[in-house]
Amino acid sequence: MQKFPFEAEALKVWFQKEGRALPWRKDPTPYAVWVSEIMLQQTQVAVVVDYFLRWMARFPTIEVLAASAAQDVIKMWEGLGFYSRARNLHAAAQHIALHHNGVLPSTHAELSAIKGIGSYTAGAIRSFAFKQKAAAVDGNVLRVLARYFAIEEDIRLGSTRKKIWEIAEGILPEQEPWLVTEGLIELGATVCSRNPKCWSCPIRSGCAAFCKKRQEELPKIGKKVEITPLFRNVFVVLHQREVLLRKAEEGKVMAGLYEFPYADKKQKGFPFLFDAKKLQTLPEVTHSFTRYRVKLYPTVWMAADRVQLPEGEYIWTPLSQIPSLPFSSGHKRILKHLEALLYARLAH
């Protein structure tokens, strides 16, 4: 493995002094590291902390997670988005319980064979939990090393990421390499961010971008994926003490989550034939998922009767069961508005 000049000791000292006190760092068991890293994918640390604590209280071990119902797992993830992460965690826990006696393996090959664990997560588990000499390159590390070594290539390219992975492996010292791996992530998150705070950087003296005054230019980032706007009418249909819901099919982005019936705003009327009277318009809601930004226009309706619907997509659900069901983030906000409306109607 090629070695690269790097101020590893300075970074280690800085991280031990300045690293944030995060709950998964207090007791970095393989399970805790795994859960935290999956939660941190495309989600800010400030949001993850409370979710992590609730998750570990509800599913303290891999065995408990593996034995839990899928709906309970999705419910605990409600609001974090990218729900395939929760589904993969659950499936992986069942795999680990069956094939590894409920214990996460420690080798790259075994970890990478587990659903939802890629190269980065495998490296993080090996480094932080098992104290192995392993790199873990996320967006923060890509940015730090692209600046430190003045890498000119687009960091979205696979070839550039491969190059930076090799550098990340080549700067790890023999002594306490995990401090450098986590220190790089921390540095990118808190100091070497998109707007770098170079005056606070412990390794700026060796940073090529800083020395050449190019820290604002690097890293080079190609064109981002375009966001597609969606506009949907949402129909909250009530009948006595029940509400009509739809559950996303397996294989869909929102699989396992509940939503109210909806249709593209260009369409007129319900997405199905129904006799109902409009009660009220609820506040508009905006939410995002994958590459979509969705604006929801919810209205509340009272059904004339409990029409039987085709099995599968739509289901009548008692209002009393709603709190236990996992909803997509946008429809969860609609639900809060609905609860406020129902409470106000009961109060009068």
Instruction: Return contacts of 118-126, CB within 8 angstroms, 24+ apart.
Output: 119/165, 120/37, 121/34, 121/37, 121/38, 123/181, 124/33, 124/37, 124/181, 125/30, 125/33, 125/34, 125/37
Q: Could you tell me the domains of the chain?
A: 8-211 (1.10.340.30), 228-347 (3.90.79.10)
Closest CA to 52 of 68, 18, 29, 70: 29
Given this model, what pLDDT does residue 284 score? 95
How far apart (Å, rounded) are the C-alpha atoms in residues 99 and 110? 11
* Cis peptide bond upstream of 219, omega within 30: yes
Given this model, what pLDDT does residue 191 score? 98
* 301: its two tokens: 């309706």
Say how many Å lie between the first and final Cα of the chain, rounded. 74
Given this model, what pLDDT does residue 154 score? 95
Given this model, what pLDDT does residue 275 score? 83
Element at 32 (helix H, strand E): helix 30-40
Given this model, what pLDDT does residue 209 score? 97
DSSP-derived 3-state class of residue 23: helix
Mean pLDDT by 10 residues, the chain (348 residues): 89 98 96 98 94 98 97 94 93 97 96 95 98 97 98 95 97 97 98 97 97 95 86 93 85 80 82 82 90 94 80 84 91 92 69
Q: Are 238 and 230 in contact (CB under 8 A)?
A: no
Given this model, what pLDDT does residue 160 score? 96
Given this model, what pLDDT does residue 144 score? 98
Residues with a known catalytic role = 37
* 42: its two tokens: 């495309």
Q: Give the DSSP letter of residue 127.
A: I
